[in-house]
Amino acid sequence: MSDAALVLTGIKKHYNQGKPNEIKVLRGAELSVKRGEVVALVAPSGAGKSTLLHIAGLLDTPDAGQVKIAGEDLTGRSDRARTNARRSEIGFVYQFHHLLPEFTAAENIVLPQLAAGVPNAQAHARAVDLMGKVGVADRAEHRPGALSGGEQQRVAFCRALANAPGLLLADEPTGNLDPATSDQVFEALMTLARETGLAALIATHNLELAARMDRTVRLEGGVLV
């Protein structure tokens, strides 16, 4: 088995915002993220971070290039194969938590496991275990609306990791939080990554947080440097 959780090769992507306004967002981006490695993705806004994360997360297809997840080349595979890979191998976290408001924090982490066929009691035990690792176990029975922003985001991390994916993709996961909370949420993420051998690609504007990750890649002129 390959020890790379994610390999991007020669990724190109353009958007047509009405001819002749073609924007080449990615011009041959290359990246390899090893298992257990946490990589910061830094770029000014509009540079194409979200586009890159969507392609890496199999939510969007590149014009050219190859996306390998856990050693498997998913370029040109069927929608079904890509959806299955996305569900089992990849966790997503966004700037806003997108937790389901009518369910408790624990239920938000249980639901994706039930969808994957995990029995309820086992799913609940895993939810509580994950919440314990990031210091929100005492909030398990509260709905998201009753949690602070930092707690909501920590629950969102637990949900992303509910089905034990090998790769976490995060788009400005602390972008919406004050500095102290952002720090706490970031530490929670690093703890989870270290404990589970998770690979992560985390887009951030925060250079101080980026410096605490294993490595930083910059998106400049459509390539990663």
**If binding is defined by CB under 6 A, does position 217 make contact with ligand ADP?**
no
Strand, coil or helix: what is 220?
A: strand
- In total, the chain counts a number of residues equal to 225
How many residues in the shown chain lie near ligand ADP by CB under 6 A?
12
Residue 10 or 44 with smaller CB distance to ligand ADP: 44
Q: Is 29 in the site for ligand ADP (CB under 6 A)?
A: no
Asked if residues 131 and 162 have their Cβ atoms less than 8 Å apart, the reply is no
Q: Where are the beta strands (DSSP E) in 79-198?
A: 90-93, 167-171
SS3 87: helix
Closer of 51 and 184 to ligand ADP (Cβ) = 51
CB of 140 to ligand ADP, least distance (A): 33
> Is position 152 an interface residue for ligand ADP (rule: CB under 6 A)?
no
Q: Are strands 22-34 and 4-16 parallel, antiparallel or unpaired?
A: antiparallel
Which residue, chain included where needed, has tokens 């995060």?
170
**Considering the rule CB under 6 A, would residue 45 count as an interface residue with ligand ADP?**
yes
Q: Which is nearer to ligand ADP, 51 or 163 (CB)?
A: 51
110 binds ligand ADP (CB under 6 A): no
Interface with ligand ADP, residue 31, by CB under 6 A: no
Instruction: Determine if 49 is a binding residue for ligand ADP (CB under 6 A).
Output: yes
**Residue 72 CB partners (closer than 8 Å, separation 6+):** 85
Q: Identify whether the C-beta of residue 94 lies closer than 8 Å to the C-beta of residue 42.
A: no
| Choice between 42 and 110, CB closer to ligand ADP | 42
Closest CA to 164 of 124, 197, 122: 197
- Is residue 17 near ligand ADP by the rule CB under 6 A? yes
Segment interacting with ligand ADP (CB under 6 A) among 1-9, 40-48, 93-101, 156-164: 40-48
126, 114 Cβ separation under 8 angstroms: no
> Binder to ligand ADP among 39, 41, 43, 161 (CB under 6 A)?
43
Under 8 Å between Cβ of 29 and 222: yes
Q: How far is the CB of 8 from ligand ADP (least distance, A)?
A: 14
Of 46 and 101, the one with the shorter C-beta distance to ligand ADP is 46
Distances (CA, A) of 128 to 19, 21, 27: 52, 50, 43
Residues in touch with ligand ADP (CB under 6 A) = 15, 17, 23, 25, 43, 45-51
